[in-house]
Chain A
């Protein structure tokens, strides 16, 4: 009886987890392997890929497998700079999202239960309209003739500072990123903060902790798992994002995402585009591993 039950359990387990596993295998693992393979090939003369022919023939021309693109990546400091710049933009956006989302998540988590769902709905409401339309809206808001620009420059000139252009700058890129990804920070934070036992705050206060101490010694350490998952959810997509810098950034604001897009659609150098993608994937994996390790249960206790 028990054996049968165990067997049945195993069957159920595969029936439930099988389809998503197959999906990931076909649409994630396979493309990743294709990408890896592509990165080792030569580009075709008019874009795309050069055909693969026998090694002897390949020795005479560019038709085999090669590590050339990886050499290119590591030989030119320009690519490292783009990576570094992307990391700076992603970390800055993540940090700003965190600073803006934390009080909001705390407010929702501590408000009356019947208002919470409505407030969460308001946080995700921007998703109801198209992403590109929202970014183009920022183009107008930050444009040189906008009320916002006039106001900022008015304030600046009052302090004797020369007027600035808001649009097509790193500032505009970060504003766009923060705007798009803020909900991804609010939701995991809220989910975490909402589960905190209010008795813990009472206990802390009872034992002599003032408002700041209650936050720093109780709320903040308990919310770290939420902070980590929110940060990962913002940091990783911002790192690869190309639409926002395309629309709001200037010519000097190219990020990895733009670089990769250009390799495939502009220069049509598929092998190098694949190499850049793989380097990005490796960087993201390293960051995920690091943050998972930092957020491991032994160091931060989940509720």
Chain B
């Protein structure tokens, strides 16, 4: 049985539908992420799981038990809020002890558990400090410790890394993965940062306009986006209009206007004469000098329009004869040289036949 089961959940605010008939089931021990742009309904969904908001239709079951009439304080679910919501009038220890105190635990038990929790998040000597006296990363860890101390069935995390700078954020991501593994507590994480979702999660539900667009493992979501929204939202991708010429079980033959024929991996439900787009990731596109021999069948010549040097890799933007632009990613493996191609160079772009995805309109 799934730990958390969301069945046909709907929530409306006036004539705006924030959550539109969503069904998700989350297994025990999972690191599950709700990913989507702001306003997609992920926060509303989180608040309903926590109990702060009630659905207009549908059910939320935890361990098979309907949560409809159970207030937030009685649900074995804790939340790490975006602002951390640490109590400013309590010390770090008192903050972490709060859930145990509310549950009526014995004082000596509270003390030993809090000490343990402080050690776990490497804040052993800061127990007597007030939250205002801590750095962002330390506050974050206090919030995690407080949320986990009385072993909830489910920990909800509402963009907890949003307020941190990039470097600290990466550190905290690793810490978060370890914390979840150690405790075995099921995490439901919400974020609008796709790289964060890909790095942390076992499974991701990509949400848009109150609906789940795709629910899958991170690598599946990235490599096989189900539709144009998911393809666009997750990672970088180049998109070209295409029409299906031939659909066989092994591959698709596509016609790209002004370019010619492209072979793409086969996909269920695609028929000849279907129109849509061919989507391809920059790292799947090889870029070579136009004079070089290319053994891949999907190859086209173009002109370098510009490039984006970010240190480890350079992204080249290549304009194809049909006017479409395709991005190609090249690792900067040769030390000292920032780029291999200049703007205006004639190049050949090519990709494997099993790369790229055809997405129906």
Contacts and interface: CB of A to CB of B under 8 A. Distances in A.
| A and B associate in one complex | yes
Contacts of A203: 79, 81, 85-87
B99 interface: yes
Nearest to A207: B99
B99 A208 contact: yes
A146 interface: no
Contact of A301 (B71, B73, B89, B146): B89
Interface in B107-142: 130, 132
Contacts of A208: 73-74, 99, 102-103, 150
A202 B52 contact: yes
B272 interface: no
Contacts of B78: 206-207
A167 to B, nearest CB: 45
A206 B88 contact: no
Given A213-B102, A301-B132, A202 B85 contact: yes
Interface in B61-94: 71-74, 77-79, 81, 83, 85-89
Nearest to A213: B102
Interface string B212-229: 000000000000000000
B50 interface: yes
Given A200-B87, A203-B85, A301-B89, A209 B79 contact: no
B74 to A, nearest CB: 8
Interface stretch (A71-79, A136-144, A217-225, A262-270): A217-225
A145 B98 CA distance: 56
A199 B88 contact: no
Contacts of B101: 217
A209 B146 CA distance: 13
B249 to A, nearest CB: 51
Contacts of B83: 197, 199
A218 B89 CA distance: 8
B93 to A, nearest CB: 15
Contacts of B99: 207-208
Contact of B79 (A206, A218, A300): A206
Interface in A182-222: 197, 199-200, 202-210, 213, 217-218, 221-222
A204 B98 contact: yes
Given A205-B72, A205-B73, A206-B50, A217 B85 contact: no
A227 to B, nearest CB: 13
A173 B253 CA distance: 95
Contact of B88 (A205, A213, A301): A301
Interface string A102-126: 0000000000000000000000000
B81 A217 contact: no
A207 B98 contact: yes
Given A197-B83, A203-B81, A205-B72, A300 B89 contact: yes
Interface in B202-261: none
B67 to A, nearest CB: 14
A303 interface: yes
Nearest to B79: A206
Contact of A218 (B87, B130, B132): B87
Given A199-B81, A217-B98, A206 B72 contact: yes
B81 A207 contact: no
A217 B87 CA distance: 9
A210 B74 CA distance: 9
Nearest to B104: A208
Contacts of B81: 199, 202-203
Contacts of B52: 202, 205-206
A203 B142 CA distance: 13
Contacts of A199: 81, 83, 85
Contacts of A213: 102
A218 B86 CA distance: 11
Interface of A: 197, 199-200, 202-210, 213, 217-218, 221-222, 300-301, 303
Given A202-B85, A206-B77, A217-B101, 9 more contacts: A197-B83, A199-B83, A203-B86, A203-B87, A207-B99, A208-B74, A217-B98, A218-B87, A300-B89
Pairs of residues from A and B, 7 with the lowest C-beta to C-beta distance, nearest first: A203-B85, A208-B102, A199-B85, A207-B99, A301-B89, A206-B79, A209-B102
6 contacts: A199-B81, A202-B79, A205-B73, A207-B78, A209-B73, A217-B101
